[in-house]
Amino acid sequence: MIKRMLLREVEYARPESVEEAVRLLGAHDGARALAGGQTLVNVMKARAASPEVLVDLADLDELRTIGRAADGALELGAMVTYSELVRSPDVTAARPLLAEVAATIADRQVQNRGTVGGNVCVNDPTNHLPPLFAAMGATFTILGPGGERSVTAEEFFLGVYMTAVSEGDLLTRVTIPALAAGSADAMEGITLGVHGTYLASAAVAVSPGAVRIALGCVAGVPERATAVEQRLAGAELTPENVRAAVAGLGDTLDPPSDVHAPADYRRRLTEVVCERAVLAAATRAKG
């Protein structure tokens, strides 16, 4: 029960088209998409989960593209790796912070395999991309037996390890609006070691007159700090104003405790990283 490292029996398929992938996911009970596997394979080694069928998305080239929509929005295929985000001129042009954050996820080896789709579908509370995408106002395109649908971050993230991607569904794409003039993003976190697991994180998107804030590590889904957003709407983002707006944020949260951060400490950290992220985004927006 405690021993790890070796997977249970599993079946494996490597479809050549998105449609075939969706068919396979729908046809087999307990089927699960295998993207980069940088979480899933570990969980399977621990035998904490054992899907019966793995549908490897590796050959689905259409999920590997990074593109720009007509309105400039950034379209990220679900199988785009963190390393590809780091190197992409499109990402750097549309939402540069995304590349910066991707460069701090785990380590180089994981960045070479881990994917955008895997990161958000796992939705571990400590993951980088869920709060970041929530703050950026991303939409998620899901292909299922009934066709394609797009959902917002609020609709996408349902709980720890739970998203709107249900059995038989496949996340194909994440779409992120391009930064408008006078807008900027920032993400701040406290990690276990440099570039380590987040103990607290806050992603912020500042646009003229508005601030979107999503907090990681405090709940099963990225938590929008809506009260802080409202207090800051239209306000000048000075250190004093931001501090005042963030004050009391921790008391509204119900974060978990673990060996690295008791709940109260996590509340405090979340206030600090929230404040810092808003100020960092404001500075960038000016710059």
**Contacting residue, 26, 93, 161, 183, with another protein by CB under 8 A:** 161
186 is an interface residue for another protein by CB under 8 A: no
Provide, rounded to whole angstroms, the least separation between the CB of residue 265 and another protein.
Answer: 4
In the region spanning residues 202 to 231, those forming contacts with another protein, defined by CB under 8 A, are: 219-220
How far from 159 is each of 48, 214, 217, 220, CA to CA, in Å?
18, 15, 12, 5
48 is an interface residue for another protein by CB under 8 A: yes
In the region spanning residues 80 to 99, those forming contacts with another protein, defined by CB under 8 A, are: 83
Query: Which CB atom, from 207 or from 276, has the smaller least distance to another protein?
Result: 276
Provide, rounded to whole angstroms, the least separation between the CB of residue 246 and another protein.
Answer: 12
Q: Give the per-residue contact string, 98-127, with another protein (x = CB under 8 A; - = no).
A: -----x--xxxxx-xx-------xxxxxx-
Q: Give the per-residue contact string, 130-159, with another protein (x = CB under 8 A; - = no).
A: -----------------------------x
**Contacting residue, 269, 279, 281, 282, with another protein by CB under 8 A:** 269
Span near another protein by CB under 8 A; candidates 4-12, 60-68, 207-215, 277-285: 4-12
Query: Which CB atom, from 55 or from 94, has the smaller least distance to another protein?
Result: 55
As a three-state string, the secondary structure of 51-107 is CCEEEECCCCHHHCCEEECCCCCEEEECCCEHHHHHHCHHHHHHCHHHHHHHCCCCC
Span near another protein by CB under 8 A; candidates 2-10, 67-75, 225-233, 245-253: 2-10
Task: Identify whether the C-beta of residue 104 lies closer than 8 Å to the C-beta of residue 124.
Answer: no
Long-range CB pairs of 281-287, under 8 A, 24+ apart, other chains included: 281/184, 281/185, 281/186, 281/204, 281/205, 281/206, 281/211, 282/184, 282/206, 282/237, 282/242, 283/184, 284/184, 284/185, 284/186, 284/206, 285/182, 285/183, 285/184, 285/206, 285/207, 287/184
Query: Which CB atom, from 184 or from 199, has the smaller least distance to another protein?
Result: 199
